[in-house]
Structure 1
Amino acid sequence: MSQRRRVNVKITSETLPERQVRLQIEVDDDRHAEAMEQAYRKLAPRVSIKGFRPGKAPRPLIEKTIGRHRLLDEAMDIIIPIAYSQALEQQSIKPIASPEVELVSHEPLVFTATVPLEPVIDLGDYTGTLRVAKEPVSIAEDAVEQELDEMRHRQGTIEPVERPAQEGDVIRGSLQAETDDDGQVFSGQELEYRLTEEYLVSMPGLLEALVGKSKGDEVEAKGMAPEDFPDERLRGKEIRYKASIAEVKEEKLAPLDDTLAQQHDHGDEIKTLAALRGHLQEELQKGAEAAEQRRFESAAIDALTDMATVEYPAVMLEAEISHILEDQAGLDPRDPQAQALYLARLGKTEQEVRDSIHDEAEQRLKRSLVMSRFAEAENISVDESEVEQELDTLAGQAGTSHDVIRRLFDNDQGRTHLRQTLLTRKTFGRLSEIAGGEPAKKAATKPAAKKAPAKQRRSGPRAAEKEAPAAEAKSE
């Protein structure tokens, strides 16, 4: 008797909010009886009854020995998947995840299945109303000099001095910190740390205590952690320090001359300080333009998402929250202990962490669904010739490593990655055109609401994953 034989079922359907439907399914008595017989034949060989060989004891005796509920449970495991699958077929339902199943009664066998459905996205009339203003791009007057100053710091030296410490100096020595409630909260030997507010932001009061001290000094000091202190344990508490100064060092900046220019990454091409200034000006301008493009794209995605109507089942949001949690914590899904250790470090429950990232996950999910639907509405696609051209471009840019790049991407997985990169780039490009008020490249038709495909991780244009990258950015 086949377990996959069709089942006569009675089905009632109830539409629920958030793209769900509840099916109540009743299995006919004859098919339930067959499932009970199958359950008996499966369980009987496992039951040892005196006077009978394994599997030969009559069913009433088996039921009396193990309890009728065991047979009923086994029969449910046999018949419910078949009945559920048949109900989906009869109702023309395509679920995106497993249902929540609840038993209503054993006899007759009645159960409910709450089924998550595909999301539905209506973009609205975006072609005529989606507009985002572009902002002028400029760099600060002193931006180039700041870059030069950073280079001088990187190329400079740190040298010992025989004088009291000044702000900006480097101290070498030991350092301990403690509080009344927590005991020792920091301890280190042979440390090197810079006397600046930025470097010592996590040690309030220490900078002021060390400025003016000299080699060989033993320093004891106190500081009060503010209420918005990064380390929640120390907020509002007094921190006591003990520092031993083994050495005071002074930073010597590299000279601001042509030699500095020749130490730049493009030193073979840049020979003078004037040429370096021009190069930095150009790079900073490009960076500012790229940042503005990212802001513009992100604003366009937000505007499109705001005007869209998006409906999805809760299971999709829960999956997105799990993805963010894994990413933030660097969790390995295959390690069952990884999440527990991460939560222990945070001192929070899983639900507390999930609640804290709920809004971010909701926005990411909506943006991703909207951008996938937008790509469909605009008929954006990528053909193999475009993938091949992108591969040629990457290999050409790699110079002597072009063979390595080809081996990396010239396979199914690599080409899928390139195809997704190109789809993302083209989708962002088209959205930028519309948001910037450029003429439509295709006949403007209002896209009807459409069921979106079930969202897989990292699928579709990746707008919802993070802040929108520039159109030329590679997909992750």
Structure 2
Amino acid sequence: MRVTTEPLPQRQVALTIEVEPERVEQAMRRVARRLSERYDIPGFRRGRAPYEVILRTFGREALLEEAAEDLSQEVYREALDQLGLDPYGPGRLEQLRLEPLTFKVIVPLKPEVRLGDYRSLRLPYAPPQPTEAQIMEVLERLRRDNAIIEPLSEGMAAPGLMVTVALKATDEEGKVVLEEEVSFLLGQEEPPLPGLAEPITGMALNERRTFDLPAPGAEGKVLHVEAAVTGLARYLLPDLDDALAQTVGDFETLEQLKAKIRDDLAAHLRRDYDADYAMRALEALVAQAEIEFPPQMLEEEIDELVSDLRRTLRRRGQELEEHLKARGQTLEDLRAELRLQAEARLRRGLALTQLAREEGLAVSEEEVEAEARAVQERLQVSAAIWEQIAPQVVADIRSRILADRALRRLVEIVRGEAEARPEPAGSLSSEA
């Protein structure tokens, strides 16, 4: 067997495998024996017809084609062993020539990732601090939450009053689109129907009016509205003082309350900043890395995104096919739409995997088992079902923990806080 290789872009290699004639002849004779046992050949008992008779009866090409099918996987595995290749996935038969018997197979190789001098990556780290305006916004919200609402037995709807209105709105076909009692601070809060504040202003307690309003989101159409003011109340905001601080929590002074608000806001801003910072660090790592992967790997990533979307839609009571039909899309359109997202996700995942490798990061079996037990308890599935899904669940848990650990290490690196680099572990793949 003679094997030649041709490197291809995107982590693929073309193998041309030419099988020696003697081996082909032996395979054809095995095929002939099977055919003689399977079919009645005039003048011979089943299984006793000579090879030359089978050859004349069925034709050389038919025997050769079946022999090629028999040999294909066998010689493919031998070729991989001969070259020392460990493919990412199944090879794809690109070409078959019968005389001489030659297979051309496209083999996807495992991805290759070279991170470069990632230990020199740096990003400035400066979490934002809460502004006085943000602190005042929280204080104003606390004032509103602790406002005193004093009902009025008479009067008219005016800005600054809490107004309760019984509404019934119908469209031009008479269909009721809103029927409820609502309360809002007139002139300061958005009413449930745009434009409602103006016709309500000046209405007396228990007064009824009918009027038209523009239909939201439907240019040129109107809603017919019946409104009755069923309640009026003064809305009294507490003063911004120590008494408010004592009302909302275990504080003695307004300054203590403001200090707590400042700390909470700072923690919230830092969480958001840290999440964005980690993603920027990962994008910087991916941008400087050399990452190659076979097309098959990208298609599998798209498969995962499609499956994720299918599960999300099902939770909402919709099937993917219905979703695509409503958008005027085919599955091929969706896959094309998801391609860039899938490629970006794949590159990030490969970069983190390689970083974990080079940094010597690992996940213990105890960690994985503990989380797997928690998942099993949360899902509350039978032992039989768990046995089926456990391998994938465990693999996902291990991958997620390792990725989280790698991302935390990357953040330490770009902030200049990482310890000395461990011994390099090489790239993700060392294949040619």
SS in 1 for 2:104: strand
In the alignment, the residues of structure 1 paired with residue 4 and residue 176 of structure 2 have an alpha-carbon distance, to the nearest angstrom, of: 67
Q: 1:299 to 1:57 in 2, by over 3 A?
A: same
Equivalent residues in 2 for 1:11-30, closer than 5 Å? 11-30=3-22
Q: Judging changes above 3 Å, is the alpha-carbon distance between structure 1 residues 420 and 318 closer, same or farther for their aligned structure 2 residues?
A: closer
* Distance in 2 of aligned mates of 1:254 and 1:31: 97
Q: Is the Cα contact below 8 Å between 1:174 and 1:245 reproduced in 2?
A: yes
Distance in 1 between residues matched to 2:411 and 2:57, nearest whole Å: 72
Q: CA deviation at 1:149?
A: 5.7
CA contact (8 A) 1:373 1:452 kept: no
Shift of 1:369: 1.1
**Residue 304 (structure 1) aligned with residue 285 (structure 2):** yes
Residue identity (%):
28
**8 Å contact from structure 2 (residues 155, 232) kept in 1:** no
Q: Kindly tell me: are residues 384 and 108 of structure 1, through their superposed partners in 2, closer, same or farther at Cα, counting changes over 3 Å?
A: closer
Please say which of residues 111-120 and 33-42 is displaced more in the overlay.
33-42
8 A contact 1:95–1:115 mirrored in 2: yes
Aligned 8 A contact 1:321 1:358 in 2: yes
Equivalent residue, structure 1, for 2:97 = 105
Structure 2 equivalent of residue 92 of structure 1: 84
**Structure 2 counterpart of 1:451:** 429
- Kindly report which structure 2 residues correspond to 1:130-141, keeping only aligned pairs within 5 A, or say none: 130-141=121-132
Post-superposition CA distance 1:38-89 (Å, at most 9, x none): 5556667776899999888888998899887765554443221111111111
Equivalent residue, structure 2, for 1:295: 276
Runs of at least 5 residues in structure 1 that lack an aligned partner in the other structure: 1-8, 179-185, 226-237, 395-402, 454-476
> Which of 371, 383, 407 is 1:428 aligned to?
407
What is the CA-CA distance between 1:273 and the residue it aligns to?
9.2
SS in 2 for 1:94: coil
Which of 210, 227, 238 pairs up with 1:217? 210
Unaligned runs of 5+ in 2: 201-207, 380-385
SS of 1:290's equivalent in the other structure is: helix
Q: Which residue of 2 aligns with 1:320?
A: 301
Deviations 1:382-406 (A, max 9, x none): 4467x39x96xx9xxxxxxxx9799
CA contact (8 A) 1:152 1:254 kept: no
Give the secondary structure class of the aligned counterpart of 1:104.
Answer: strand
Kindly provide the CA deviation profile for residues 243-289 of structure 1, in whole angstroms up to 9, marking residues without a partner as x: 5446678898897699999999xx8xx58895765544332221111
Aligned length: 399
Flag the 1:244–1:45 CA change in 2: closer, same or farther, 3 A: farther
1:294-351 per-residue CA deviation (whole Å, 9 max, x = no partner) reads 2222222122222211122122222222222332443699xxx954333223212333
The answer on whether the counterparts of 2:144 and 2:237 sit within 8 Å (CA) in structure 1 is no
Q: Does residue 10 in structure 1 map to residue 2 in structure 2?
A: yes
Which residue number corresponds to residue 353 of structure 2?
372
What is the identity, as a one-letter code, of the residue corresponding to 2:338? I
For 1:330, what is the secondary structure of its paired residue?
helix
For 1:49 and 1:17, the matched residues in 2 are separated by: 51
Could you tell me which residue of structure 2 aligns to residue 360 of structure 1? Answer: 341
**TM-fit CA distance, 1:368:** 1.4
The answer to whether the 8 Å contact 1:326/1:332 transfers is no
What's the TM-score, normalizing by structure 2?
0.69
* Partner in structure 2 of residue 438 of structure 1: 417
- Cα distance 1:442–1:55, how it changes in 2: closer, same or farther (>3 A)? same
Kindly provide the CA deviation profile for residues 361-414 of structure 1, in whole angstroms up to 9, marking residues without a partner as x: 2222222111111111112224467x39x96xx9xxxxxxxx9799669x9878
Distance 1:50 1:288 in 2: 88
Is the alpha carbon distance of 1:106 and 1:171 closer, same or farther for their aligned partners in structure 2, counting shifts above 3 Å?
Answer: farther
Residues 1:147 and 1:41: Cα distance change in structure 2 (over 3 Å): farther
For 1:122 and 1:438, locate their aligned partners in 2 and report how far apart those are by CA, in whole Å.
22
Shift of 1:110: 1.9
> Aligned in 2, Cα 1:82/1:259: closer, same or farther, shift over 3 Å?
farther
Greater alpha carbon shift after TM alignment, 86-95 vs 26-35: 26-35
How many angstroms apart in 1 are the aligned matches of 2:181 and 2:40? 74
Q: Structure 1 counterpart of 2:194, which letter?
A: L
1:16–1:425 CA distance, 2 compared to 1 (3 A):
closer
Distance in 2 (alpha carbons) for counterparts of 1:14 and 1:421? 36
Distance (Å, rounded) in 1 between the aligned partners of 2:182 and 2:61: 70
- Residues 1:146 and 1:245: Cα distance change in structure 2 (over 3 Å): farther
Q: Which has the higher helix share?
A: 2
Letter in 2 for 1:12: T
CA contact (8 A) 2:118 2:285 kept: yes
- Cα 1:11–1:416 change in 2 (3 A) is closer
